[in-house]
Amino acid sequence: MDKFCFGIDIGGTTIKCGLFTANGELKEKWEIPSRTENGGIQVPQDVADTIDAKLKELSIEKKDVLGVGIGVPGPITEDGTVLKCANLGWDIFNVNEKMSALTGLKVATANDANVAALGEMWMGGGKGYKNIVMVTLGTGVGGGVILNGKIVAGSNGGGGEIGHMTMNLDEKETCGCGKHGHLEQYASATGIVRLAKKRLLDTSVTTSLRELAEVTAKDIFDHAKAGDTVALELVEELGRYLGLALSHVAAAVDPQVFVIGGGVSRAGSMLLDVISKYYNQNIIFALSNKEFRLAELGNDAGIYGCAKLVIG
């Protein structure tokens, strides 16, 4: 009889679910809403219920399930204790123990950004490597570090939070975390738009970006590809900050490859080229010329990584 496992990627809006075979084949995927009211108290039961429903639908017995891997949008310790989770309203409790009691299955957990990195290493842009750093460029900047095929989570599950590396000690505007000058203020989708708005407000420089009612990160890259000088300068600025940050990361963990995901990664080779340029300008020779690849799994990276937690 085939063996199966579940990958459950819990987000603040939706819970992405996947049923995998033991060799990593995704058999089915679906979503359920994240019910975050009342401190997210219903989320664990909802996850257990959707697992039971899928097992019943496909006539799979629990003895044929290797376990459930769960990604959580917040810091989580090695033993599965979540250290508060603002997006879900969770306080401090042990997710492994709770979910194992509800499902009757083995449970493994990790931070959502880390499981996405694990998924990309296993079946995505980092396939074929065991030492990768994944960077997710979206509303913020997320990260995950995988060394020797294992997540580097750190003592409190906060490993890989590269978006909150301080890059500019003189920054006056506040990061979403309350600090100043963090990487995601410059290298995220919202960060590059912030830089664009500041440039357009502070100068009268001619640029096609002024013709737009509302500037987006995609607009900036599209106009840069069309040759707009200001858009090109903004892309260079993002690349300078991100390349510098990743040179710092490489000096600590020496990955084989950097995998770049998130909405901004749709800019493709232009983005990879500018990051690589500034990375190599700032890194020692022994760590130079790393590979920079685009993520391949999109929104499924998390469920793949969660499955990998169980399959090992």
Q: What is the pTM of this model?
A: 0.90
Instruction: Name the domain count of the chain.
Output: 2
Task: Give tens-digit pLDDT for 146-200.
Answer: 999 999 988 877 888 899 999 999 999 999 889 999 999 999 999 999 999 999 9
Q: What is the pLDDT of residue 227?
A: 97
pLDDT at 163: 92
Q: Give the pLDDT mean for 82-106.
A: 92
Q: Is residue 94 part of a domain?
A: yes
Same domain, 137 and 270: yes
The answer as to whether 304 is a domain residue is no
- Residue 98 CA to residue 95 CA, distance in Å, equals 5
Residue 237's SS3 state is helix
Please name the residues in contact with 32: beta carbons below 8 A apart, sequence gap of 6 or more.
Answer: 14, 15, 17, 46, 47, 50
Q: Are residues 8 and 144 in the same domain?
A: no
DSSP string, 34-102: ---HHHHTTHHHHHHHHHHHHHHHTT--GGGEEEEEEEESS-B-TTSEEEEETTTTEEEEEHHHHHHHH
What are the distances in angstroms from CA 226 to CA 1, 114, 207? 56, 35, 11
pLDDT band per the 50, 70, 90 thresholds, residue 139: confident
| Cβ pair 145, 133 in contact under 8 A | yes
> What is the CATH number for 59?
3.30.420.40
Distance from C-alpha of 131 to C-alpha of 129, rounded to nearest angstrom:
6
Same domain, 80 and 168: no
User: What is the per-residue burial (b if ≥16 Cβ within 10 Å, else e) of 114-136?
Assistant: bbbbbbbbbbbbbeebebbbbbb
Q: Report if residue 306 sits inside a domain.
A: no
In a domain, 275, yes or no: yes
pLDDT for 86: 76
Q: Please report whether residue 209 resides in a domain.
A: yes
Whether residue 243 is contained in a domain is answered as yes
Lowest pLDDT segment from 73-77, 84-88, 94-98, 226-230: 84-88
**pLDDT for residue 25:** 95
* 214-229: pLDDT as tens digits: 999 999 999 999 999 9
- Cβ–Cβ < 8 Å for 261, 135: yes
In this prediction, residue 199 carries a pLDDT of 95
The domain of 93 spans 4-120
> Is the pLDDT assigned to residue 104 strictly greater than 90?
yes
Residue 307 lies in a domain: no
Min mean pLDDT across 27-31, 76-80, 104-108, 305-309 is at 76-80
Query: What is the Cα–Cα distance from 172 to 190, expressed in whole angstroms?
Result: 16
